[in-house]
Chain A
Amino acid sequence: MKILTNPSAGVDTTMMLVFVVAVLTMPFWLTLIGAGYPDLMQKFVIFGLFATGFNILFGLTGYLSFGHAAFLGIGSYTAVWSFKLLGMNPIPAAIFAVAVSGVFALVIGFISLRRSGIYFSILTLAFAQMCYALAYSVLTPITNGETGLRVIGDDPRILDGIITSGVNPSTPTVNLFGLDLTQTWVWNGYYFNAGFYFCAIILIIGSYIAMRIFRSPFGLMLKAVKTNQNRLNYTGVNTKPYTLAAFVISGMYAGLAGALLCITDPLAGAERMQWTASGEVVLMVILGGMGTLMGPMLGAGIIKFAEQKFSTWGKTELHEFFAFIPDGIRDTVVSVASLFVGSGWHLTLGLVFMLIVIYLPGGIVEGGRRILMWASGSNRRNRKLQAAAQAAE
């Protein structure tokens, strides 16, 4: 029997410190692997936040939602409306996005959580598709349909409209009490973007909260739901409030991520809510490792990094990459490999995802753990101990 326990507080503090340093120094080490662009780094942290939130629901309780992109979209729309009505400050935008997506998550979760398993997946999928279809058709006055909702010059913006109206009326940019968040400083070839640091700080706060949830009695209860919900019910525990809370929290994370997406580009479109977007976050969590703290962020980073790298590669890059192969064979190798890059990079993604689900359901984190165990020999030692224990019996 597996006993649900938590690692000691010291391990967590170290892990959190390493994580904070890693996130804040991202412009340095990401430039080394060629991903140090402000846009890309923002995507890393935003989708990391989205995946972290999704993991609270999927990783802890095992409920597979196929509709979380709806909350991402709702967060984006709310944030843009906040920009339009209140002003270009991201803090009220984020607060409203979290609140509104939380309300939606409460309603959708309350209904969907009456079922579990595949029915839950289909219910959430149905709700998300409804949101998507409505955003495209009837709700056009609110969502601006296919064109997408964006901030324009003559919006009221009651908080800062008067100050900035004369300056740059056509394309107002998001600013944090006067600090322009689209601003980028360059130093020795490293890019430091204000918006990235804003998102990074929110990611750090978000993952700290996620860690606290993982380690709390509430988190243990969620893990118990995943392990055996029937047994909990027999013990007299009503699991619904716990799962609903997890659903709402993960919906809020998604809404917050949606709001942050609007920082560089204050534009919200309905395609953000399509079910393929919900599928993407599932891919991220599975790839990184569901139910682990750092896995989802890792998965989000890898998918966004690979998307950036692979989708821009063409035949010339492949020829350089395979330069070590003799000329005769190289052309064949390149033409085969070119199937997997450029516009075909989703093929790579699908294949990798299938391999992970088949051979490594615990994701990259699980793989790393196995390698560590193998390297340190603790696996062999454990097996020896087990064998000894069996022999003793």
Chain B
Amino acid sequence: MDAIILQILNGLEKGGAYALIALGLTLIFGTLGVVNFAHGALFMLGAFCAVVMRALLTMEVATGEVESTAWGTEIAVTTPYVTNLFGDFGNTMIDWAVPLSILLTVPVMLFVGWAMERGLIRHFYKRPHAEQILVTFGLAIVLAELVKAVFGANPIPVPEPAALGGMMDFGALFGSEPDKITYPMWRFVYFLFSATIIIIVFMFLKFTTFGMVVRAGMEDRETVGLLGIDIGKKFTFMFAVSAAIAGLAGAMYTPIISPNYNIGMEFLVLSFVVVVVGGMGSLGGAVAAGFMLGLLQSFAAMNEVKEILPGIDQIIIYLVAIIVLLVRPRGLMGRKGVMET
């Protein structure tokens, strides 16, 4: 029982990341009809926004004092700028660098998404899907290599805030024995964060006029255009929003996996599978499939399961994808007729 609860928690955290990336992917597909292979790279860029934020906050200045180390060499004492400016509050800011990086990630990723759509993607609306895949695949390589040129190839660890680090005692919450079910707190925070973002996106699309126009445009672009609405502009904004969602997913994921330039590619393949399982262009499907596959993956990683079916944890996601594509090609919640053949 304890093991099952732990695996559910694991699955929720993994599923949160899959769902966020897949949500952006399917939003782009539903609005613009573009298959974006560079979406994993956007996740990676978001992760590096967190790295940059932490680097900015920990920029140091020499105080002028000199102290000698244990070996007798003298080094200058340095303190971070923010500590000099804000005192203790500055130290707290450094500690909370990852959540603070949201402030940096959102504008940066909105801009990146906007520039990508205006500069590259819009020239590919009328071209075949294969060429869209190829050009965004090339873009993914370029973005990853640029990051590698700037930050190097090694993973850069980014710690979570001390208050949200450590283990969380789940057993005590549900009234069972304490210290029986413990789980890293940040991973649970990540799940809550991704759920919040998903709810915000859905509410935005459901309850605002802008969201209504976007949904109408997804149904029938021509008609909305005929009504005098510049739907292209709204869709460009939605592309930027999708990029920002992927970026946020990446920025908050940094304490769980230290980001390196290749992290996007690893997530991309999985999140594509998620989108296909959920149904191309279906937002609810992407979220549902994201959490479902996350849960399936963590259950397949249980030792009891692995004893019966060795290696299942490695292939479960692909296996599910293959079965879904063959049995129900439009995906779990995809609309009939959307790229069904």
Contact = CB atoms under 8 A, between A and B. Distances in A.
A122 B137 contact: no
B141 A126 contact: no
Interface in B70-124: 120, 123
A350 B329 CA distance: 32
A292 to B, nearest CB: 16
B290 to A, nearest CB: 16
Contacts of A169: none
Contact of A130 (B35, B133, B134, B319): B319
Given A133-B314, A134-B315, A138-B311, A279 B137 contact: yes
Interface in A168-195: none
A134 B309 CA distance: 12
Given A62-B130, A111-B326, A121-B133, A351 B318 contact: no
A354 B315 contact: no
B220 to A, nearest CB: 22
Contacts of A127: 318, 322
Determine the main DSSP class of B at the interface with A: helix
Interface in B110-168: 120, 123, 129-131, 133-135, 137-142, 144-146, 148-149, 153
A354 B146 CA distance: 15
Contact of A129 (B130, B138, B269): B269
A349 B141 contact: yes
Contacts, number: 111
Contact of B142 (A136, A282, A350): A350
B137 A346 contact: no
Interface residues of A, number: 41
Contact of B318 (A118, A126, A346, A353): A126
Interface residues of B, number: 40
Given A279-B137, A357-B134, A137 B329 contact: no
B341 interface: yes
B273 interface: yes
B138 A350 contact: yes
A384 interface: no
Interface of A: 62, 64, 111, 114-119, 121-123, 125-127, 129-130, 133-134, 136-139, 275-276, 279, 282, 286, 339, 343-344, 346-347, 349-351, 353-354, 357-358, 361
Interface of B: 35, 120, 123, 129-131, 133-135, 137-142, 144-146, 148-149, 153, 265, 269, 272-273, 276, 280, 310-311, 314-315, 318-319, 321-322, 325-326, 329, 339, 341
